[in-house]
Each structure stands twice: as structure tokens, then as C-alpha cells.
Structure 1
Amino acid sequence: MLQHRLMSVAAAAEVISSGAACCVAGDEAMLRRLPRGCWVGGTIPYFMSERGGTCSHDKVFVSTLPGEPSRMRIVRHSRSTLPGICTEAPEHGYTLLLMPAFSPVLQSFAEEAPTYDEMYLRPLFGWVSGVHLDELGKRAPLVFNGQSGEAYEDAALALHAELPPTTTMHIDIVNPFQKQTGPVIELDRGGFFADVCRVDGRAENLHDFLLNINHDIRLPLVADYCGALVNVSIRQLHAKTRQVEFYTPVFSGVSYQTAAPVSDYVAAFSTALATHRMPGEMVFACNCALNHVYGELDGRQLEIHGPATFGEIAYLLLNQTLIHVSLVDRE
């Protein structure tokens, strides 16, 4: 049976040494103590565990992965090679992708992933490494290749795994937010910054509009992507330039609305989870560190356990979202 739990470094080392393939999340110092093996990892101190939401610098969260480790490949990608990630994936299997927060390779993926060749044809999921919020700007988020022992602050690591043709991965996006009834926002240009926009067809400055409606920037903008609600989290309002900065890019031609307030994140996630079928055995899950902080989840229980990250990947880069991946037998 696959396992997903917060554990000591010694316990994680035993799992890796047993030959299991793993995804590991934890503090940089803890990840550097792990033995070589078939694992990939990233820095993050926030977790949802059996004990509820927690911040830990001396434990790591281990998710064992399905598939035969001898038939897995860990590939390091730069900005120039990352667009080929889907074409190199196995025909029957999945790709687990890790990237460091604030890195050029992450920015490239965020903006260009929808145009990658063969995107959406094979399961692609993962997360973005980070640091404790008190260490922002002081330490770099890292990703780790457990086979080589190398760590990177500007590279993507893809673990490609083969599965039998009778099994597949099912990826669910669980969003605690709903669109608020109100104006529709359309951006003239895409990217991580926005200023000029249209609000219900009227020309506006997005920075000024959000200030005028007293928008709580902890609440994202939300768009409907073919039935799936996708968040764009607001990082900062820049008064000097009258721009809005986002954690993930906005896109022109997409209609956004502000998210409705969430009074209880645990209840909101429970409601959202109830709408998902989630077949098969859980393989991997992660939540967003922004939900962890804004929702004051320390010590509070969620049904799904995993790291609380600086970004979630379900084909595309997501924010303030929980992703759940399960292994499904198609027979």
C-alpha cells in the first residue's frame, strides 16, 4: 500500500533504502541528510498531516509512488528544454514535476505550459518548493534529485514513471473558492503583472478597481476553465506603478471574477471534496501554503494529507488549490 505521512528523517531514510520510489518534502537540511535513491524532493516546512496543519523543520513528508523504480527516469530541465516534458513522458504512466518558487524556469512554465506539445495527453502533476515565510528573500527554494544528491534553485525535475496499460492516474483539482457574483474582469495583456483591464466592458485600471471595491487580496481572482474553477492569487498591489502582481500569470481573453469570502477553510474544503468522485487509491496530494496561512490551518484537520506548497501543478500551475491524484484500475 502506498503511504503518505509526515515522518522523521530516519524513517524516511528507511523507506528510501527499501527501494521505494518517493516524493519528499521538507526543510533543506533534512533533505540533505537523506540517502541516495529513487526520489525527488523540494523544500517546504508546511504540511497537512494526521495531527492537522503543522510547520516542521525536523520532519519530512513522504509520498511513496506507484510503478517500478527501475523503469523510472528523473530528468532535469532548464527553461529551454522544459517545453519537451510532455513528449518525453511514457505512453502509459505519469510525470511528477517539481520546480522552485520564484525561479525563471517556473515563470516560463507558468506562462507557456498551455502551449507545450502533447500537453493534457498524459498525467502531469506536482508542486512548487518554497521556504518558511519568515525566510522569504533570505533562502532560496530548492528541488532535489535523490539519485544524484544534487539540489537546484533554477531547474525543474521531472520524474517519469511507467504504469501497466490497465492503470491510469486521475487528477482532481479541489478549489475552496467560488466566484463572487459581480463584475467580470478581462485583461488586455497576460503575465504576472496587470494594470489595464476591462470591467464589464469598461476600461479600468485593475489596481484602482480592486482598491475601490476594498478587495481583500487574500482572495484570488477566479476563472472558469472548461468547467474547472482556477485561481490566480494576488501577491501585491503596487501603488507606485498602479499594477497588480500575481503568484501565477493572468491571461488575456479569459474572464475573471473576484472570489467570494471564505469564513471557514476546513468547511470549504470539505464541501469541495464532497463534489469529487476521487476513484482508486490516493497517490499524491498537496495544498497551497497560502491556504495554510490565510485559513489558519495550524492544528486543524483536513481529510487529505500532504505538503502545503508555493504552487500546485495539475498540468498547469495553480494557486490556493488542493490537488489529489489517485491510481485507477481501468479493467
Structure 2
Amino acid sequence: MNAMTFHRSLHGVAEVAGMIEAGAMLLLAGDERLLRELPRGDWIGGTIPYFMTAEHGGIHDAERIFVARLPVSASIAHQAIYDADSLPHFAADGADNGFSVILLPSQSPVHSRFAIEGTEWKGLFDRPVVGWVTGVALDRVGIDTAKVFDGRTGRVSDSAAAVMHVALPDTVFAKVDIVNLFEQGDGETLTFDEPGFSTEWVRVDGERMRLVDFIADRGIDTRLPLVADYNGAAINVAIARIIDDEGRVEFFAPVFAGMAYRFAKPIGHYPTQFEAAVAGMETAPTFSCNCVLNYAYADLEGQRTGTITGPMTFGEIAYVLLTQTMVHLTIEQG
């Protein structure tokens, strides 16, 4: 393990309110009830009760808020709530040197549009874009609704995105990276005729069949994601659920037409492999997040993923929507 130093991750409402009132710029994650108690200020936040923390490792905590503080050398160029119509233009509000943080409520119109159309939006790749898909406790899916918060205006939304555009001094720059422990397995190649978050049909080495039948016939462990090669980067599509009475498979991120996918190879002990993957990091991330499916499937409660902390989310963003992946952003010297 490297020697990076981390401050405490989780704080009570009163502590976080004090940080906001003192002028801190914050990225927050926590239970909706807690976030609603905070004063206005320079922060955005989203709902989730799962975290990787400096104090406890993986934890489910509905009574404290996860805090990521922006460096004092940073400033906020723009901060706002963007609905599904305005979000495609959000990049125009970003700083010349800096990065953008975007929070999307799970299963919302902005979640879908960003995932399927985002790579075509003007300016998306002009500066680092990171963020996450907000969610709820796993046993409350379908009951509670994921939310995002804009601390400056006090707006709360379950259908729009919260975005903070951060400006940095010319002496430093932002760098975004991912850690994905999954890689394509040796099974058949799967392609889809249409993009989307759900499907009934798939082409298996070119032959059309129902995806549920393929999964059953091959004995696929659906905790393993589909993996595609995006110009040398392995990108996961995690399975959300199988709707038995409809024969459809739902995903946490969309599949794309014509892209070649394979189910991932099984991985070993997740915390050990993750720690090895981040062992060379020398700069503590300003922002990081990991997938709630990694938390659930790899039994991460009470365990640490190296020195990385952050919310465990319903989707991770590093320019595009990712799943079962860790995203981190660091501030580097220019």
C-alpha cells in the first residue's frame, strides 16, 4: 500500500453544514433526508447510502454524509441543474482549464440521454468529465427515487442532472482514469441490432437468439458484466435483472448496435486485485467512485479497495457511462 494520506470520509449533518458555511466547495453523497437538511452553498450532492471510506472500508450508512472537498486553489466556473433538453449543451459552461462533475438520477431522462447520446454532444471531451449515477438502498429500489441536489439554488430533482464546472489555475490540470478488473472472456461474440438499456434478442456469433436463452444454455453468472473493447479500453455493461415473464434482460448501461461484447472472465479476490491495480498511485484523488455492484457482489462491506474512497454508485462516469468500474480524478502539476 502506498503512503497517501486520507482524511475522514463520513460526517454528520452539522459538520457538513459547518464546512458549507465556511465556504468549502464540496461533492456530497448520502441519504436524501440528510442532504435536505444542509444549507445553501458551493456543493452538489446525490443520494446513495453505500461508501468506501477511510475509516471503515466498505459501509452502508444512512446517518452520515460522504464528503469530497475540492482543493482551495479551485473555483466554481458554473453550477446548475440541467434537464433532458439542456443537458446536451452542458459542456459549453465548463472552464478552459478544469473539469466537470455530473450527477444523474438513476432511471431518469438525463440518465438515458447521457448514456445513449452523450458521446455525440459538442464539447464533451474538451475537459475531463466525471461523476456518478445516484441511487437508493438496494432493498428500496422501486420504492424510493434517486435524487440530485444543487446546493447553490436548493433545487432537488429526480429527473434532471446536477453539474458543477470546476476551474483550475494554469499551474495544474485534471486527469481522469478508470480501474476495471474485468476483461472479456473466451465465449461467443454477442452483438445487438439496436441500442438500449434492455433487450430480448442478441446475435451470438451472428446467429439470432434470445439473450435469456443464451444465458441459461451457457450457465452464465449474471454477476459478470458484458465487456466491449472501446478503442483498447474494456467497457462493462452490467446486467440489472431478467424479466422472466417478458424474456427481456435489463442493463445498468446501454448496449450499442454493432459493438462486439463477451461476458467477462471471473475475477479473483476483488480487494486484493484492486489494491494491486492502484498501488502505484502517488496523488490522492480529488474525486473517486466505484460501483454498488462491486460492493454487493464482492462482499466489500468492511473491506478496503486500496486507498481509494468514494460513493458506491448505480453507474460511474468518465466521459461516458460505465458500470462495475472505479473512476478517479486527480489534480496534477502542469
Q: Is 2:221 the partner of 1:216?
A: yes
Identical pairs, percent: 41
Which amino acid in structure 2 is aligned with residue 101 of structure 1?
Answer: S
Q: 2:50 aligns with which of 46, 50, 53?
A: 46
The amino acid of 2:313's aligned partner reads T
Q: State the distance in 2 between where 1:227 and 1:279 align.
A: 25
* Structure 1 stretch displaced more, 111-120 or 10-19: 10-19
Q: 1:14 deviation in Å?
A: 2.0
TM-score by length of 2: 0.93
Q: Decide whether the 8 Å contact of 2:125 with 2:319 is kept in 1.
A: yes
Match of 1:286 in 2: 289
> What aligned pairs does 1:174-323 form with structure 2 within 5 A after superposition?
174-274=179-279, 278=281, 280-303=283-306, 304-323=308-327
Contact 1:52 1:300 in 2 (8 A): yes
Q: Is the 8 A contact 2:77 2:95 kept in 1?
A: no
Which amino acid in 2 is paired with 1:93? G
CA distance in 2, matches of 1:329, 1:46: 32
Shift of the alpha carbon at 1:71? 4.0
Normalising by structure 1, what TM-score? 0.94
Cα deviation, residue 3, structure 1 = 5.3
Shift of 1:270: 2.3
**Distance in 2 of aligned mates of 1:235 and 1:70:** 37
Give the deviation of 1:203 after TM superposition. Answer: 2.6
Aligned equivalents of 1:83, 1:150: Cα separation in 2: 20
Indicate the SS of the match to 1:148.
coil
Residue identity matched to 1:325: L
Indicate the larger mover: 177-186 or 122-131.
177-186
Residues 30, 66 of structure 2: 8 Å contact kept: yes
Deviation at 1:197, TM superposition (A): 2.3
Structure 1: gaps of 5 or more residues: none
Number of residue pairs the alignment of both structures matches: 328
Contact 1:170 1:278 in 2 (8 A): no
- Find the partner of 1:21 among 25, 29, 38: 25
2:64 to 59, 66, 81: 59
Inter-partner Cα distance in structure 2 for 1:132 and 1:150: 22
Taking the aligned partners of 2:74 and 2:228, their CA distance within structure 1 comes to 38
Q: CA deviation at 1:177?
A: 1.3
- Aligned equivalents of 2:149 and 2:20: distance in 1? 14
Deviations 1:252-271 (A, max 9, x none): 12111101123422123224
Letter in 2 for 1:6: L
Structure 2 gap segments, 5+ residues each? none
Q: Which residue of 1 aligns with 2:83?
A: 78
